[in-house]
A and B are shown apart, each in its own frame.
Chain A
Amino acid sequence: MRCLLIDTSSFFINVAIIQDDNVLFNYNEKIQKDMSSKIMPIIKKGFDSVSFEISDIDKIFVVNGPGSFTGLRVGVTVAKTIAWSLKIDLIPISSLEVIASTPSDKKYRVGIIDARRGNVFAGIYDNDLNIIKNDQFISYDKLKEELTDDYEIFGLDDKNIKPNLIKIIQKHITDQSINPHLLKPNYLKLTEAEEKLNDNRSN
């Protein structure tokens, strides 16, 4: 089984090519801007470095949110175009689950992405990546109140994130594939214009 994984959901660009239980290529770099122009050269670099072509992959995993709106669109656009072109399985993954796959001694891991103005996107996972609490948009203070168990937070500073890609893929390898046309980013948040319109309507 050959898989491509794409994650452009936050300040990292992560592209991995995985064959069975081996990570053959893993590009992980902090990128603040130009995610859009960097993604394809990195994917090309990946396939130039392995013994097979992009057309030989069986499944594509894409991190579809939550996270940076623009970043999510880059990854999702590329992934759905590849899946549509090659007619291969497409499986969306949570960005917070990826962060929470970082090894820890604690019972629960909280994956977090900064959502500005004191807010975060947060999801709580256990050691087997089961969802304990669904990904949500929440103020950081409120989140801390909710956390009472044995947990470790990942994602507040980027240094301690070490996603376990094999674990994520094993967990999702049998997931139902999504039709590429139907794949969209999971923003977890309306646009400001929509929020304002809803407020006006409900007043």
Chain B
Amino acid sequence: MNNKYILGIESSCDETSISIVKNGYEEIATVVLSQMDTHANYGGVVPEIASRMHVESITLVLEECLKKAHMTMDEIEYIAVTYGPGLIGCLLIGVNVATTLSYIYNKPLIPVHHIAGHIYANNIGRQLKFPLIALVVSGGHTELIYMKEDYSFEKIGGTLDDAVGEAYDKVARVLNLPYPGGPLVDKLSYKGQDTYNLPLPLDDNTYNFSFSGIKSAVINVAHNEKQKGREIRKEDMACSFQNRVVEILTKKTLKALKEYNVQNLIVAGGVAANSGLRSSLKTMCEKNGIELTIPEIKYCTDNACMIAAAGYYAQKTGKKADIDLKAQANVNLT
């Protein structure tokens, strides 16, 4: 088999990242430059600042990645780039670097959907087993996806309002935790008790999720406690919130696994780093004979390694783009 080296480029939010992956699963080198410290000053990602930072660092990240890999652009077979969804000003930087490199070095260009990237984070160092159910959980996404084979995505359910990571960040703000608050809620939850009796979010017969209700419930409790002159018990609230969220994610994922008669579950996206979710899914899978795959923490957050990995399979299924590739803020996974 011919070895194929894919250069992946990711700039959809606040990480500038470039990676080289061999044959879709072997990581050669990855560089990730995170802007998190800058955006922490503003309590969230500021799109214009993020775009400015991407353009300043992207060629450095590219050079660093090639250096780390001891490779030159000539040894690259394909260029894979996140074209969406994401912050449009940010996506444009990665896409324009990709189209320029594609033209200069005469390398085929592969458009990669950001969520396909998160899914293929599970393909780094090993290979996906099909059919599978993918639970995608991040600051922008909460989806259940059925995959019959490589690069075939059937969305069977998703959030009707807030993404799960978004709900975590909002709850963190109510609890006065610093940005990014999601991981801190996870941490605090272990020090508290499940005492606040929060509702189980959208416990129905579909594969859909809704987190705006539980978020409002948290805000209401905080408000009521304040009126009574009491402090909210942060640890207990974090625990109560996390328990309900993890419970519904686990419940609907199991339902999907059973009804689609699937033995493989993969988890993808930033919230896949949540330890409460990881342990709940692990228990559920052990109980039901399901093989569970969760990426290493470093592949859960945005990175180009997953984009290069996904690009390999995208290319195999005939996905390609020309140098007029358009970045898209909103685009469905197909």
Contact = CB atoms under 8 A, between A and B. Distances in A.
A77 B104 contact: no
B interface secondary structure, majority: helix
Contact of B56 (A36, A86, A184): A184
A77 B97 contact: yes
B104 A86 contact: yes
Contacts of A85: 73, 100-101, 104-105
A interface secondary structure, majority: helix
A172 B290 CA distance: 66
A55 interface: yes
B326 interface: yes
A112 to B, nearest CB: 23
A69 B51 contact: yes
B152 to A, nearest CB: 27
A193 B105 CA distance: 38
Interface in A1-53: 34, 36-41, 43-44
B323 A77 contact: no
Contacts of B198: none
A54 B93 contact: no
Contacts of B60: 181
Given A82-B104, A191-B52, A193-B46, A40 B99 contact: yes
Contacts of B46: 191, 193
A39 B96 contact: yes
A140 B89 CA distance: 28
A91 interface: no
A73 B55 contact: yes
B288 to A, nearest CB: 46
22 contacts: A34-B326, A36-B92, A37-B327, A40-B99, A41-B322, A44-B103, A54-B103, A54-B104, A69-B51, A69-B52, A73-B51, A76-B55, A77-B92, A78-B100, A81-B59, A82-B104, A181-B59, A181-B63, A184-B52, A184-B55, A191-B46, A194-B49
Interface of A: 34, 36-41, 43-44, 54-55, 69-70, 73-74, 76-78, 80-82, 84-86, 180-181, 184-185, 187, 191-194, 197
